[in-house]
Amino acid sequence: MAIFTWTPDQGLGQKSEAKVDEAIFGDGYVQRAGNGINNINEEVELTFTGRYRSEIDAIDSFLRAANGVTNFTFTVQGSSAKKYTCSSWSTNYNHDTDSSLSGVFKRRYET
């Protein structure tokens, strides 16, 4: 499995959402249960700004090779390594020494 080795900018954003099944009964009673054993979707928004174009090109190539399908390992600062995919990212080439990339990494639990 590929390892994403680039260090993003400080201050990443993280979004978590629990998948929940809900049954509503006629008397107003509601029963909820987590949908699956890994029912929390996690997304991490990363940015890489003020970088050399060659670094942004290397990150872009890595994400294109994974094709939004293949899991890769990434370690969020202060956490342990986890599996992610990235199917959405954007690049901006202002100058050879001022390029940027931003993307959303989605946590994956499958092997």
Domain ranges across the chain: 9-108
Q: Which residues in the chain come in under a pLDDT of 70?
A: 111
- Of 1, 111, 100, the C-alpha closest to 55 is 100
pLDDT tens figures, 12-22? 888 999 999 99
How far is the C-alpha of 74 from the C-alpha of 105, rounded, in Å? 9
Give pTM, 2 decimals. Answer: 0.85
In angstroms, the CA 71 to CA 66 distance is 7
Contacts of 27 (CB under 8 A, 6+ apart): none
Strands 81-95 and 30-34 turn out to be unpaired
